[in-house]
Chains A and B, each alone.
Chain A
Amino acid sequence: MRFKSTTGLAAIVTVAALALTGCGSSSGNGGGSASSDGKVDGAGKTLSVLVNVSSQYPEQQKQWQSDIAAKFKTETGADVKFETFASANDELTRIQTSVVSGQGPDVYSLGTTFTPTAFSTKAFVTLTDDDWKKVGGKDRFNPAALGISGPDKDHQVGIPFVSRPFVMAYNKDLLAAAGIDKPATTWDELAAQAKKMTKGDTYGLATGYKDSFDPWKFIWAMSVQAGNPLVDGSKLKMDDPAVKKAYETYFGWLTNDKIVDPASVGWSNSNAVAAFASGKAGYLMMTTATSIPTLDKSAIAGKYAYTLMPTVAPGETQSKSDGDAASILSGDNLVVADYSKQQDLAFAYIKLITSKDEQLNYQKTFGDLPANAEALASLTDPKLKPMADAAAKSKATPFTGAWGDIQLALLNVTVQSVPDLAAGKVDESALDQRIKDAQNKGQASLDRASKG
């Protein structure tokens, strides 16, 4: 009996192990090889693509995917299988398992700020000149969109797919009623204008202090505009006065200027959109083209417009950054897994979806701006003009594997300050301490990045 059970156990373990390795070895079935005319023959092959699920346009996304799959089939003979992830965490998990196991999707769609982290895992193809040709040439893309594809021009993993630059929206009626003839271009001016519009339950600005992303974007923008891009080589410069000034300005809207709804300490970005949509706010900060559908269906349809966010740091009279930093460089990049056995096929797919026509088609359906330079230039909708401007004036966040930690540290300062914010006063020494903690954490992460 004892002997039996041991052999039985061994047998089961073996079977299980075989089954596990069976799963492991099923991938990798030759790559679509490029023939002399540059066409990729992918007959009988399936390309696997991981994209984020569009919660706003689920039906359209399915339609778009099947259309693209059909076009890709005609062009290369290969099928495309789309897999989706619902959240950034989902995506991370997928990437981590793929990186460790060396199998998974061939093409990933990544948010721009995540590209440095992806790059640092060395699990994605660094494009050679030849590779760039296969996706239609580097010059087909909006040069600004390439800003976060890699640490330098020769080491790029990310192929820009769409841009989603951040802008602000303003309520034309409220501005006019307060006697403001054009929207602010500096943060100081913005606060002054917002003050004029704040009356009763109407506030000058709408923004969410509890959003998971917005707070660090404000701090980053104001700091860059003051001439401090946060990361200088292997040094983190969060202890710079510009950063503290940025936090004070950002918190000050609530505590000193009183130009935002006190309830916004508990708001995320979507709450701010809702407040603006109800006509109770002059400006909606840090928004993208994705707010168009909501606003067009709201009480203020036709009464709002978009414009660039201020590009002059608080307390300054002109931008100290090299080139205006109107927005973080935001959007999606495509990366090809280096374990993929069908990289040529992957490049052919990317070439298809970054072509001018497909990019314009995508813009029409989903609102995201093209990364394709020609397509971007051909946009005529006046509403999109400021977005296209912002796309061209976007500035990339520092390209380091430590960025994730730095971003988290920046955000954490706000998270821990929210109780003070709600109480109406952020204590200076407490703020100093929080910034110092963030500096230490971020610096430690940068140190590891420079070793890594």
Chain B
Amino acid sequence: MSTDASHEVRPVADSATGRAPGTIHEAGGQPGHKGGPRRKGLSERNRPLWMLIPGGVLMVIIIVLPLLLGIYMSVLNLDQYTLRKWVSAPFIGVENFVEAVTGSPLLHAVWLSVSYSLLAMVVTLPLGIAAAVATQNAFKGRAVIRSIFLIPYVLPSFVVATVWRTMLRPGGIVDGALGSVGIHTGLWLNGPQTFWTLVLVQIWASWPFIYLLALSGLQSVDHEVHEASALDGALWWNKLRYVVFPYLKGPLALAFLIGMLHHINNFTLPFVLFGVPAPADVEVLPILTYVTSFQSFRFGLSAAMAFVSLVLVAIPLFVYLRAVKLDDAETPGAKK
């Protein structure tokens, strides 16, 4: 697998050097290098780093600058009264941070965000894997099933949330259906149960993502591996457990990571489902930050909240990234 990956990279590098030979000559000043063996084409010096520029510039403009701006805002007393001349808004140091942590529901919001994301993730993982395994082997109607599985994933979040909100209304379809079999659940869109509503809808909307990545992992299992395990007489569970799952480690680690980040950052779902002000049990991070910014106009405070949550999310993320060594994700099954 790893050799495959480098094969893919090489033509790109070659075409890059091919397109701009003059540049290489002037800057690198190493004649004769081009005619050298292919292996050397990937030396440090000739990496087409300039190709990072377009993406890099966009990153700087779209992510880094706003991030720095956000950090700057978080030390200003920036609200509707000072917005006009925001650059000269009064500097108040860490006051926003102190208020965010001690005087606002920020920590509660972090707890809600993380716990809801984890719960949704823990449920969607087996769902996605099971669906991927079930549709791995060809059978009649597989294409249809696979397409149906993807519906929740391709629907815009806004649509998902609107449809669920309509279904979960008091006296709506869900209450009607459950009521007809004698289950009376109470409110879905207000009160303590809202947390579970959010988890439920998030699961519905995001399990196909896990399914997709698990499927891609399964596709990468070489045919020979299946044959070999069949020859060894491995039963289906053993085969899954010891042969197939190791291949899924990489894609699923990636899915877990992206999924968690996506859930934690999900604004549309809770916003459309519950509206603002949100019931206290679903006042997740994005909602809290939004309300602080755009309903109360406390831009400084909300910037501080956003920054605190960025740090809180970044720490486990960093540890996790180190632990799974995501760089190796394209070599599934390499560590056995």
Contacts and interface: CB of A to CB of B under 8 A. Distances in A.
B153 to A, nearest CB: 26
B275 A121 contact: no
B171 A266 contact: yes
A212 B24 CA distance: 63
A92 interface: yes
A368 to B, nearest CB: 25
B256 to A, nearest CB: 33
Contacts of A133: none
Contacts of A93: 294
Given A5-B50, A266-B171, A419-B192, A117 B23 contact: no
Interface size class of B (residues with CB under 8 A): 35 or more
Nearest to A123: B84
Interface of A: 1-5, 8-9, 12-13, 16, 89, 92-93, 96, 99-100, 117, 120-123, 210, 212, 262-263, 265-266, 401, 404-405, 408, 411-412, 415-416, 418-419, 422-423, 445, 448-449, 451-452
Interface stretch (B121-129, B182-190, B211-219): B182-190
A452 B82 contact: yes
B70 interface: no
B65 to A, nearest CB: 10
Given A5-B49, A13-B57, A408-B295, A117 B277 contact: no
A1 B86 contact: no
A193 B49 CA distance: 79
Contacts of A16: 57, 61
B56 interface: yes
Contacts of A408: 276-277, 291, 295-296
B53 interface: yes
Given A408-B277, A415-B190, A445-B296, A3 B83 contact: no
Nearest to A2: B27
Interface of B: 23-24, 26-28, 45, 49-50, 53-54, 56-57, 60-61, 79-84, 86, 169-172, 186-187, 189-192, 275-280, 291, 294-297
Nearest to B187: A422
Contacts of B60: 13
A320 B170 CA distance: 38
A415 B210 CA distance: 35
Contacts of A1: 23-24, 27-28, 45, 49-50
Contact of A4 (B50, B187, B191): B50
A136 B218 CA distance: 74
A266 B189 contact: yes
A401 B170 CA distance: 36
Contacts of A262: 170
Sorted nearest first, the 7 A-B pairs with minimum C-beta distance are A419-B191, A452-B81, A266-B170, A1-B27, A418-B190, A412-B277, A263-B171
Contacts of B294: 89, 92-93, 96
Contact of A8 (B50, B275, B278, B297): B50
21 contacts: A8-B50, A9-B53, A12-B53, A13-B57, A100-B84, A117-B80, A123-B84, A262-B170, A265-B170, A266-B169, A266-B170, A266-B189, A404-B297, A408-B276, A408-B295, A408-B296, A418-B187, A419-B279, A445-B296, A448-B81, A452-B80
